A and B are shown apart, each in its own frame.
Chain A
Amino acid sequence: MTLNELQIASANAILFLAFGCFLVVAARNGISLLQLLLAAWVFATRTKPGRSSIELWRRYGDLALPVSVIAPAFNEELSIVESVKSLLSLEYPHHEVIVVNDGSKDDTLGALIRGFDMEPHERMQIAALQKTQIRGTYRSRRYPNLFVVDKENGRKADAANAGIGFARTPLVCVIDADSIIETDGLLRAAEPFMHDDGRLVAVGGTIRIANGCEIEGGALRRIGVDTKLVPRFQIVEYLRAFLSSRVANAHTDTLLLISGAFGMFRRDVLIEIGGYRHDTVGEDLELVVRIHRYMREQKREYAIKFVPDIVCWTEAPANLAGLKGQRSRWQQGALETLQRHRRMIFNPRYGRIGMIAMPQLILEDVIGPPAEVIGYLVIPAAIALGILDPMMALAFLGVTVLFGTGLSLGSLALEEVQLRRTPTARDLYRIGEAALLENFGFRQMNLIYRLRGIRSFLRSDTKWEAVPRIGFNQPS
């Protein structure tokens, strides 16, 4: 009798869990589908940028807001000179390149000094946002728009902050030193400022994966698709993330993330909010969330936009080991940001950021991964207990795979019709193939990495509490 009752109760619990997981998965898929449809609509009605706008920039160069490109560099001795050369030759009326040598262990600074004929040059820092010491600043005798900051080692956020503090232009573009910027990437990202009447504070752009491409002298010579599967899976992920999610989010004013590999910001706003935070691994997400929070608390009108054009190419982890670190970091960063800004969640004071964007982030990063894991565990259990028809479970699995692949292929179709940056039909096929294969193994691995991220979040959380007690507080 009691045993029977227990059995029924546990069966009910398992069914309940399975149903809950199903709801979460369905909600995520539903949102992704909506985003894809919205993105398709945005792409169908958008006007492609043409030569005429570039002519305009050339003729009235002073209307283009000057930009400082901030490139934090750590141990880049071998490639830094080439990278900086290609940054200097980007197409833009007025841009300055600020390289921040983040206490490299190799001779990055020496390479810069020799390569560009740099000399020490005092320049006032407008805002000291960094937590580490600046060791020196240099200017080039040959390139008036190159400036180098040499500082003690910190995190990327710290290096970017140091650079932002030295920038004197209305716009700053923060990149990774190894990002390969499209020749017209700055123009594309600055274009929304041309139509702007003063509200725009930040612009993001599409980022693609450079693995498999031919790179020469810091510039992209030939686009390719890597033969290995891990980079190809990531191509699919990036297509989904940039061409459907971010386009849709930006269209509905709920964009929360501008990738650290390339982001254009108003300098004064960054300074007002104190730049990037040093104590999170997800500084790029945290920054944009904080901009939203700040502007809404100040009751200022503002806008954050996204250009679907490709602005930059970045080297993705080529194997699972590299991916593991990256994905757990992303997961941990998302949780840290959510925790820090938890009062925005479902808070009508923060408008659609509080009511839509943050809950979406929770669904994606807090509830999503565990729900998926529980699903993987509970469904076999339910089949074993005989409360779930195995055929039904298989059917459910099939639908999930179908949905995931469909969303990826939809994004791929958007890229094919609108951007056209996949070299050949063969490459297109290989991306399509990866879109199907990623459902078997890659997604699950990714899930494990994200769980690791959740674990480090829970651990580091307690570590932070401990920090003040030991008195290990940074020099400020």
Chain B
Amino acid sequence: MAKILIADDDVILTEMLRFRLEGARHEVITAADGLEALDKAKEGRPDLIILDSMMPVIAGPEVLARLRANPQSAATPVVMLTARNGEGDIVAALRGGANEYLTKPFIPQELMVRIEKLLLSSL
């Protein structure tokens, strides 16, 4: 069981991920924009963060950079969701310190598999 933060402004996707993650006995907290994501990450101390690259207020890559700059969240595994399959976005995500990335549209099952793997390896 782990605590997972989902930061995405797409409610339906967020809710669907929450349903699946809770089904797998994880605790889920959510944020709808970049600023909220940073706050929740600080307060909630999640074990893993799912981060959308295109978010209002503060975009995903910037959120990631700030998470990494903070010692408290520097080692938290991050899965980045990129909207385009542009190589630029993916490279930026990985270079920024994301542990995994997925290109939208993706199948939630695939994300679940990657999350479980990350959680196992970060234990």
Contact = CB atoms under 8 A, between A and B. Distances in A.
Touching chains A and B, CB distance < 8 Å: yes
Contacts of A89: 84-89
A17 to B, nearest CB: 55
Q: Is the interface of A mostly helix, strand, loop or mixed?
A: mixed
Nearest to A183: B84
A216 B88 contact: no
Contact of B56 (A86, A91, A216, A222): A222
A88 B87 contact: yes
Nearest to A82: B88
Interface in B50-67: 54, 56, 59
Interface size class of A (residues with CB under 8 A): 10 to 19
B24 interface: no
B76 to A, nearest CB: 24
B65 to A, nearest CB: 12
B88 A86 contact: yes
B10 to A, nearest CB: 15
Contacts of A221: 54, 59
B92 interface: yes
Q: Is the interface of B mostly helix, strand, loop or mixed?
A: loop
B85 A217 contact: no
Given A217-B92, A221-B54, A88 B59 contact: no
A183 B92 CA distance: 18
A183 B84 CA distance: 9
A85 B59 contact: no
Contacts of B84: 89, 91, 183
A93 to B, nearest CB: 13
Interface in B3-61: 54, 56, 59
B87 to A, nearest CB: 7
A83 to B, nearest CB: 11
Interface in B63-101: 84-89, 92
Quick one: which of A86, A216, A221 has the most chain B CB within 10 A?
A: A221
Nearest to B86: A89
Contacts of A216: 59
Contacts of A88: 86-88
Contacts of B54: 221
Nearest to B88: A85
Contacts of A183: 84
A178 B92 CA distance: 21
B95 to A, nearest CB: 13
Contacts of A85: 86-88
A217 B56 contact: no
Contacts of B59: 216, 221
Contact of B88 (A91, A217, A222): A217
A91 B59 CA distance: 21
Interface in A66-86: 85-86
A88 B90 CA distance: 13
Contacts of B85: 89
Contacts of B56: 222
A54 to B, nearest CB: 11
A282 B66 CA distance: 47
B78 to A, nearest CB: 19
A222 B89 CA distance: 17
A89 B84 CA distance: 7
A221 B34 CA distance: 13
A222 B85 CA distance: 20
Interface string A174-205: 00000000010000000000000000000000
A86 B89 CA distance: 9
B64 to A, nearest CB: 13
Interface in A215-236: 216-217, 221-222
A85 B88 CA distance: 6
Contacts of B92: 217
Quick one: which of B54, B84, B86 has the most chain A CB within 10 A?
A: B86
Nearest to A84: B88
Nearest to B56: A222
Interface of B: 54, 56, 59, 84-89, 92
22 contacts: A85-B86, A85-B87, A85-B88, A86-B86, A86-B88, A88-B86, A88-B87, A88-B88, A89-B84, A89-B85, A89-B86, A89-B87, A89-B88, A89-B89, A91-B84, A183-B84, A216-B59, A217-B88, A217-B92, A221-B54, A221-B59, A222-B56
Interface of A: 85-86, 88-89, 91, 183, 216-217, 221-222
Given A89-B85, A221-B59, 9 more contacts: A85-B86, A85-B88, A86-B88, A89-B86, A89-B89, A217-B88, A217-B92, A221-B54, A222-B56
